[in-house]
Amino acid sequence: MTKILEGKVALVTGASRGIGAAIAEALGREGAHVVITARTSEGLEAVEERIHASGGSATIAPLDLIESDSIARLAAAVAERWQALDVMVLNAATLGSLTPTAQIDGKEFNRVLTLNVLASQALIAGFDPLLRKSEAGRLIAMTSSVGRHPRAYWGAYGASKAALETLVLAYGEEVKNLAPLRVGIVDPGATATEMRARAYPGEDSATLKPPTAVADAVLAMLGSDFENGYRLELPR
């Protein structure tokens, strides 16, 4: 059977574990060459090994997205090797502390916004030329329900996700008549990840869906002809 991403090039951020790792592995199984990024090379190497074991191919790019020139260097390296980028999944994010809005630490809030929003804008800027060159470019951003439905103590993280959604959807509107590029938003819902465990200590992870379920949904989305600005919300 023909793999739906055969010959395509994909980039997944925050791909060393959890949802990012599961998405990267799913894309690799479906024929994409996956460029995977995260801060820790050890986790990336494990994901790369699993992709190769399933018959796929991957390139690891250990880097910290909030370093001043890391994204520009990554974009330049990808452009030297490939003529286009077909899929970009903006998954990397940090939770920060869950605290009353009036008590948010400014330095920590700055870091949350830098990784969750500013780095995503830099990724869009850096890879925009390659995404436009794809015959069917796809940009998917991972979000959270707290970005649309504010929740007590989640102000910092929720604000970052609300900003990310606005940023990504605005980009989709800007390019929709200029390139065959479509933008989508995915809200994975309650999923058994390390971030979820930090946010809800004591919760039984066995009651949650695994990251692979999110990856399967993203893969199905990529295999469909979804409309620009499409939003996928997964149930618990």
**197-230 pLDDT, tens digit each:** 999 999 999 999 999 999 999 999 999 989 999 9
Helical segments of 54-154, H only: 70-81, 106-113, 119-133
Q: Write phi, then psi, for 176 (nearest 5 degrees).
A: -60, -25
157, 171, 200, 230: which is the annotated catalytic residue? Answer: 157
Is-contact 33 225, C-beta < 8 A?
no
- Beta bridge partners, 90, equal 141
- 171 flagged as catalytic: no
How many structural domains comprise the chain?
A: 1
Neighbours of 197 (CB within 10 A): 13
pLDDT, residue 75, reads: 96
**What is the CATH classification number for the domain harbouring 62?**
3.40.50.720
What parts of the chain have a pLDDT lower than 50? none
Question: Cα–Cα distance between 90 and 124 in angstroms, integer?
Answer: 9
Residue 140 lies in a domain: yes
pLDDT digits (tens, 9 = 90+) for 167-200: 999 999 999 999 999 999 999 999 999 999 999 9
Element (H, E) at 89: strand 87-90
Element (H, E) at 139: strand 137-142
Residue 42 lies in a domain: yes
Residue 96 lies in a domain: yes
% of the chain at pLDDT higher than 70: 100
Find the domain containing 98 and state its range.
Answer: 9-233
Residue 3 lies in a domain: no
